[in-house]
Amino acid sequence: MKKSFLILIISLFIQGYSQEITHIEPPFWWANMHDTQLQILCYGKNIADYDVQVSKGKILHIRKTENPNYLFILMDIKGLDAGTFDILFLKNNKISHKEVYRLKKRSKNARYRKSFDASDVIYLLMPDRFSNGNPNNDSQVQMVEKANRQFDGGRHGGDIQGIINHLDYLEDLGITALWSTPLLEDNEPIYSYHTYAQSNYYKIDPRYGKNEDYKHLADALHQRNMKLIMDYVTNHWGSKYWMIQDLPTKDWIHYWDNGENGFQRSNYRMTTQFDPNASDSDAKACMDGWFDRSMPDMNLANPLLLKYMTQNAIWWIEYAGLDGLRVDTYSYNDKKAISVWTKAIMDEYPHFNIMGEVWMHNQAQIAYWQKDSPVGAIESYNSYLPTVMDFTLHDAMIRMFNEDEMGWDKGMIRAYDNFSNDFLYANPMNLLVFAGNHDTTRINEYLQGSFEKYKLALTLILTTRGIPQLYYADEIGMRGNKEKNGDGDLRKDFPGGWASDKQNAFKKDGRSPLQNKYFNFSRKLLQWRKHQPLIHSGKLLQFVPVNNMYVYFRMNDTHAIMVIINNSNKAQLVDWKRFKEGIRNAKTGKDIISNKQIDLSKDYKLAGKTAMIIELK
């Protein structure tokens, strides 16, 4: 009786001094991580007035900032097993509040997870525009923007369940990895569907679903031996983020005193990051300028923020079982800080892969940002970023297939010249190759709706070196022109993703004859590529194009695959003798596109605007 009474008195005493804590982040963590230092952010009214103790582990440092509503607790949790410990908040040596913090058990082999690589084909989709699997979450009371499918810049209702509903479609197509544009909460009043102005880094946007739904998506992919890549944004947050509304420190963001509410737009000149002749003011305007008014530019040089962002990325990898990250606007970040962020993740997961968006139009400038870059080494810079995006190949592709005649710098020489600069890259196999994405006019628009040209473009993307990425609905011939009609035109809804759609292109009998031609060709190449290790890792050997016909090989010491792309309108003889270096002793081969057997001792005339992929024997 006395013991129960004492517990009641202590409980009432603690409640009497209770401190409301509205945020603790990360909300939980894992035992036995490689990095044993855990930073816990605590937020509540005047929480800095309190002292802190923990029941387990060791406090290394408690950081109080100029904002009294924050406490940052840096702990060493080495040796702690999965379970809980108490965080005690004290005033005048008396306990005011207790938070129970949980360390979870890691999944088996979590540290050594296999990430995406050149054996994969990545499918990029925008979840709001792919499929609406749960109409009940289209609009949410706590979210400002409501669903409006009639507005091409509004939210249309696509969600995580919609993606899960169509994983069979992606598996049948031959996709092995899924990259969705961001799914975290974005509470901007307009254009929130793209979700790049995030307002909560620990919460899936409720219009897409719940955190548990995202984990379910990863699990469903893994059951199909497919991978999930998260689109991650380090450079900027959304203006409606709760921390932006009450900054921990003024330098949490790049605040411009001469701007409106700290805003000054970036000059977007990424070359200033490495230009030895650049002015300091221009470099600062790029790196510290805001991407847009609704996207405050984050100061990763702030060590508290850097640790926060590092732990958040690791939290999602561990929680959802992610297989990779794609980092938005990578080269706009503080370059030293982003390299620390990237290395910390790679140290935690040695076999992980991260691809960064470096939207530049020069191979040397793109190569600068890749891990162990010989270009970056000139100034002793290493980003530790394994994969960069081959935007120069995209630049070539949107032009060369419309150039029927080859000039000194036109036609298929554009492809040859692109790959001739591979010496600039530390690892050309870790380049993302693509014909389009969510920010570019669709490839089928550039190709003027020509199915024959699409076959040439897809053949190149799926057989050259690097990691290929497709953009959703390109495989059914979808078109969209950003320059003429804006972003909404290249982000149209996938037909059949909504119950009210008159057409369902997810099904063979729901596609038009032309859409089925696109799909069937795409599926054939994708399913073939999935089982071709030569395409995944073989050396690239290329020959200078002649008469707009480009020939290259993927090969190892004993086997080879020959690719021929005749971009001319005219039929041309293939000079087998010229390509002896790649053909070697092969006498015959099979063209996997036409299923024809090819006799390499006989003349062969390849029709115009036609490609061949020959498995040499």
State the catalytic residues: 328, 357
Structure tokens at 524: 């054939």
Q: How many CB atoms lie within 10 A of CB 446?
A: 22
Dihedral sign from CA coordinates of 18, 24, 29, 34: negative
DSSP type of residue 19: -
Q: How many CB atoms lie within 10 A of CB 183?
A: 25
- From residue 107, alpha-carbon distances to 36, 39, 222, 319, 366 in Å are 17, 22, 14, 9, 36
Residue pair 575/562 in contact by the 8 Å Cβ criterion:
no
> DSSP of 299-362, one letter per residue?
-TTSHHHHHHHHHHHHHHHHHHT--EEEEETGGGS-HHHHHHHHHHHHHHSTT--EEE----S-
Structure tokens at 197: 């102005």
Spatial distance between the Cα atoms of 424 and 417, rounded to a whole number of angstroms:
13
Spatial distance between the Cα atoms of 443 and 434, rounded to a whole number of angstroms:
10
Residues 6+ away with beta carbon under 8 Å from 113 = 321, 323, 349, 351, 352
Name the β-bridge partners of 157. none
Name the β-bridge partners of 615. 561, 590
Q: Find tokens 């992929």 and name the residue.
A: 613
Collapse the DSSP code of 510 into the 3-class scheme (helix H, G, I; strand E, B; otherwise coil) and give the result.
helix
Structure tokens at 312: 């958040």
- Of residues 478, 167, 110, the one with CA closest to residue 317: 110
Rg (CA), the chain: 27
Distance of CA 40 to the CA centre of its chain: 26
Order of strands across the sheet with 51-54? 29-30, 94-104, 83-91, 51-54
DSSP type of residue 82: S
Phi, psi of 513 (to 5 degrees): -55, -40
> DSSP of 372-392, one letter per residue?
T-TTGGGGT------EEE-HH
Q: What is the identity of the amino acid at 494? A: F
Altogether, the residues listed in the chain come to a count of 617
Q: 510-513: long-range contacts (C-beta < 8 A, 24 or more apart)? A: 511/476
Q: What is the identity of the amino acid at 140? A: Q
